[in-house]
């Protein structure tokens, strides 16, 4: 497909494809897996409680009895896939800071790359969930006027790194305004 519409040599521009993404902290992988384990344990407990309560109910036996093993196997498979994809997906996540923009990529199957120029950033925020706190991790969220669907969140940063990055963004955006 021909695309030569501009006087600027498009090939001389810094390219998105050559961005070197920095992977997330290994601790974040462990934190994610533990969080998932927690969720699945809760699901398992709830499911077995439901089964135990209804065990004596004859209607329940009749309707659900033959399928119950399949349901358990199905849930186990989903859980395993969930862990597997979380593990594989981790290595696809990464962020990069360039001179004038910040970007984050994610996605094992459905891939996406978000790019935000510093001079469009409204504000940024460092967040910490309970599991992240255990590992001293934080996430950084960058807001633009483009609406929440297009904001950028970088997960799995060491707390110091997140704060440092936030300071860097503040410096960049305010330097931009002063120019």
* Angstrom distance (rounded) from CA 133 to CA 148: 24
Q: Is 117 in the site for another protein (CB under 8 A)?
A: yes
Distance CA 64, CA 54 (A): 10
| Least distance (Å) between residue 146 CB and another protein | 3
85-114 binders of another protein (CB under 8 A): 100-101, 107, 109-114
| Residue 150 found at the interface with another protein (CB under 8 A) | yes
Count, residues near another protein per rule CB under 8 A: 37
> Pick from 6, 52, 58, 69: which binds another protein (CB under 8 A)?
6
Say how far apart CA 24 and CA 155 lie, in whole Å: 7
Phi, psi of 72 (to 5 degrees): -65, -45
The Cβ of residue 90 has, within 10 Å, a number of other Cβ atoms equal to 21
Q: Give 51-100 as a DSSP string.
A: HHHHTT-HHHHHHHGGGHHHHHHHHHHHHHHHHHHHHHHHTT-EEEE-SS
Q: Is 5 in the site for another protein (CB under 8 A)?
A: yes
Compose the 126-145 pattern: x for residues touching another protein by CB under 8 A, - for all others.
Answer: ------------------xx
Q: CB 3 → another protein: shortest distance, Å?
A: 6
The least distance separating another protein from the CB of residue 77, rounded to whole angstroms, comes to 20
**Residues at the site binding another protein, with contacts judged by CB under 8 A:** 1-3, 5-8, 10, 13-17, 100-101, 107, 109-120, 144-150, 152, 179
């Amino acid at each position: 497909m021909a695309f030569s519409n501009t006087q600027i040599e498009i090939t001389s521009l810094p390219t998105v494809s050559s961005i070197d993404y920095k992977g997330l902290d290994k601790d974040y992988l462990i934190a994610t897996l533990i969080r998932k384990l927690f969720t699945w344990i809760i699901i398992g407990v709830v499911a077995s409680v439901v089964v135990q309560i209804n065990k004596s109910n004859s209607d329940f036996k009749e309707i659900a009895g033959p399928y119950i093993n399949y349901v358990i196997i199905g849930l186990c498979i989903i859980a395993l896939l969930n862990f597997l994809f979380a593990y594989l997906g981790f290595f696809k996540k990464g962020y990069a800071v360039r001179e004038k923009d910040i970007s984050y990529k994610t996605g094992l199957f459905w891939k996406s790359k978000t790019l935000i120029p510093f001079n469009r950033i409204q504000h940024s925020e460092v967040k910490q969930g309970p599991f992240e706190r255990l590992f001293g991790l934080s996430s950084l969220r960058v807001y633009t006027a483009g609406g929440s669907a297009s904001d950028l969140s970088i997960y799995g940063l060491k707390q110091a790194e997140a704060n440092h990055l936030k300071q860097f963004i503040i410096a960049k955006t305010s330097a931009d305004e002063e120019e």
